Structures are given as C-alpha cells and as structure tokens.
C-alpha cells in the first residue's frame, strides 16, 4: 500500500438539503497497522477555529510520517476538523436554521432532526477509539490558556491521559456542573475516553497554542501505541497545574460598561492587583475596578470589551488549594 492509499478523506455524515445540494461532513483517515485508533474533533462550534489549525498541523505531520516511515503508524488516526460545517460556513456558533448548540445534542438520534442525526453519526464514528480529543476555542468573549477540562466522574481514567497533552492546566469539574449532552460526556459514559481541550479565543487562531497541543497529542498517541516508540516527536515542555472548583475564582462585572484590561493574560497576579477597569463610553469616570481576589494565575481574560453587570471578565486560579 502506497502512502497515498493510506490517507483517505471520507464522508461520515450526509443529508439532503432542501434544494438540490447535499450537506456532507468529512473526516480524514490515516490508516497504518492494526493498533489502536485515535481521533481529533474540532469545529463543533462554528465560531471556534483553533482546532481546525491543529488538525492541519497533525495532517501535515502524519503525511510526512507515511511518506518516509509508514510502518511507524502502528494504529490509525481520524481527523474531524469541521463537524459543524453549516456553522463554520456562516460564522455561527450553533447549527444555523435549527438554532441549536450541537454540543448539547449528544448522544443524538438517527431518526431526529439534523443536529440529532449529526450527533449520532459522530458518536457512531468515534465509539471504541483509544482516545478522542475534542478541541474548543472558548468563545469570542474570553481568552483561555491551553487547558483540559475533565468531569471528576471520569478523572481516574482521563487525568493520566490529559497529563500527556503538554498543556498548562487540568481543570476538574464537579459532576453537578457538568453538561450531560456534550460529545465528551456521551463518549466517556460509554467507555470511549474523550478529553476536552479549551484554548485561545473564538474566531482567531493562536499558532503557538496549536503547536503546543500538537506536541501533546503526538505524545499521547505514542504512549497509547498508535505511533511506534522510536518515532521522533517534539519534546513535551509544559507541566499542567491542577484546578478544581475550590481554587478557581470567577470575576464578574459589578457594573455594565467597557472593560479595559490592565494585566496581561496568563501572568501571575497578586491579591488586590488591578486587572482592569470598567469605564463609561459617555462620561470620563471609571465605573469600577477589577482586582484579583487572591495570589494566583490569570488564566481566563475577557477579550470582548462590552460587559453587562454579571459578565465574566476573568478567572484566577489560586496558588494555594486544589488537589495536587
Ligand atoms: Zn466550543
């Protein structure tokens, strides 16, 4: 088998559109030996693009591997870079027309409306994989450091996998705060490990975050026996901090207005330090100060300046507390 035969772009879901067209949702498969299968999913939210670039970088790496040392791909890899094709086409977070967040439609159903059918097709395609990584890019409002978010119900199985991903934070969520209709929850509930990555900001690509995650995904694939142990991959250079609901502090706006940050994202901050101000576009006065409640790391920072009372502006992870 030449390397061209071992790379296949396939349609895993198709539905007839109201006029003549068909919507097709595609994946690329890189087929090696009979070892474990891994998958990377991106673009479930149509305004999040970081994962699409991660898929490009992984495809480029795998194409080179299959051209030079095809026997080193012991298993197989599937890339699903653009799951919500209609949303990506129209710069819409959810599924247009259906006004549905696709990541609230899992596990879906083969007899339901379009979002349910697409969710069911993705579930069927991903079930049984050794590892699924579902990449999200926050939203247009908040910038996030590269992190993995894990439901504490599955932490025994997922934290060891997440440690390979070369990211800076593993955030463990209590079961009460977890949404059960996401692709990750649905896969983990049926025994297929799925890690949710959040990084960067909506509608943008942060190349250094994408490259950091690629190193981590290749490392995980090697650990799982999808790549041969002698394959040379970039060196892991990040060690994750562990956050949980006890050491993450949410900073919500006390007044509506324009948020003007004065601290840089992903820096150490001191208790009481000024992180930004909320100002009025009508008057010269400052409406409120935003200060860090603890010594910690500013890991989420508002990107979109307009805020309403209660809007999230930042998250700080305390240096103390949490599970080591
Ligand atoms: Zn998302």
Of the two residues 46 and 3, the one the predictor is more confident about is 46
Q: How close is the Cα of 304 to the center of ligand 1, in Å?
A: 16
Q: Is residue 202 part of a domain?
A: yes
CATH number assigned to the domain comprising residue 277:
2.40.50.100
| Coil, helix or strand at residue 293 | coil
Distance CA 168, CA 276 (A): 24
The residues, any chain, with a CB within 8 Å of residue 87's CB and separated by 6 or more, are 43, 45, 46, 47, 93, 94, 95, 96, 102
Q: How close is the Cα of 128 to the center of ligand 1, in Å?
A: 23
pLDDT value at position 3?
Answer: 66
The residue range of the domain holding 264 is: 246-318
Q: What pLDDT, in 10s, does the model give residues 105-152?
A: 999 999 999 999 999 999 999 999 999 999 999 999 999 999 999 999
Structure tokens at 57: 């970088």
Task: Find tokens 């087929």 and name the residue.
Answer: 31
- Contact predicate 12/24, CB 8 Å: no
Total domains, the chain: 2
Say if residue 199 is in the same domain as residue 82.
yes
Domain boundary among 178, 212, 242: 242
Say if residue 306 is in the same domain as residue 192.
no
Pairing of strands 37-42, 76-80: parallel
Distance CA 211, CA 217 (A): 10
Q: How close is the Cα of 280 to the center of ligand 1, in Å?
A: 31
Say if residue 253 is in the same domain as residue 167.
no
Q: What pLDDT, in 10s, does the model give residues 88-105?
A: 999 999 999 899 999 999
pLDDT confidence band for 1 (50 / 70 / 90): low
pLDDT value at position 321?
Answer: 54
Q: Is residue 213 part of a domain?
A: yes
- Contact predicate 161/220, CB 8 Å: yes
Q: How close is the Cα of 198 to the center of ligand 1, in Å?
A: 8
Q: What pLDDT, in 10s, does the model give residues 267-318?
A: 999 999 999 999 999 999 999 999 999 999 999 999 999 999 999 999 999 9
């Amino acid at each position: 088998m030449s390397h061209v035969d071992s790379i296949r772009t396939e349609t895993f879901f198709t539905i007839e559109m109201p006029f003549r067209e068909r919507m097709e949702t595609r994946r690329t498969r890189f087929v090696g030996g009979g070892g474990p299968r891994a998958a990377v999913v991106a673009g479930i939210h149509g305004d999040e693009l970081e994962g699409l670039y991660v898929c490009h970088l992984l495809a480029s790496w795998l194409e080179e591997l299959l051209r030079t040392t095809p026997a080193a791909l012991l298993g197989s890899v599937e890339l699903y870079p653009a799951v919500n094709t209609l949303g990506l086409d129209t710069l819409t977070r959810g599924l247009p027309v259906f006004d549905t967040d696709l990541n609230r439609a899992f596990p879906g159903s083969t007899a339901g409306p379009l979002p349910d059918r697409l969710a069911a097709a993705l579930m069927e395609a991903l079930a049984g994989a050794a590892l699924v990584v579902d990449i999200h890019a926050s939203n247009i409002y908040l910038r996030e450091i590269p992190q993995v978010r894990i439901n504490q119900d599955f932490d025994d199985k997922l934290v060891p996998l997440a440690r390979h991903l070369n990211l800076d934070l593993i955030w463990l969520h209590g079961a009460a705060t977890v949404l059960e209709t996401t692709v990750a929850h649905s896969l983990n509930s049926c025994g297929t490990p799925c890690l949710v990555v959040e990084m960067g900001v909506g509608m943008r690509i942060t190349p250094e975050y994408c490259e950091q995650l690629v190193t981590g995904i290749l490392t995980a694939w090697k650990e799982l026996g999808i790549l041969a142990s002698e394959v040379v991959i970039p060196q892991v250079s990040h060690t994750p901090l562990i956050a949980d609901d006890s050491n993450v502090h949410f900073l919500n706006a006390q007044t509506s207005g324009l948020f003007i940050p004065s601290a840089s994202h992903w820096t150490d901050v001191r208790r009481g330090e000024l992180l930004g101000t909320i100002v009025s576009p009508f008057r010269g006065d400052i409406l409120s100060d935003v200060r860090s409640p603890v010594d910690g790391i500013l890991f989420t920072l508002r990107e979109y300046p307009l805020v309403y009372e209660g809007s999230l502006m930042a998250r700080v992870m305390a240096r103390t507390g949490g599970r080591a």
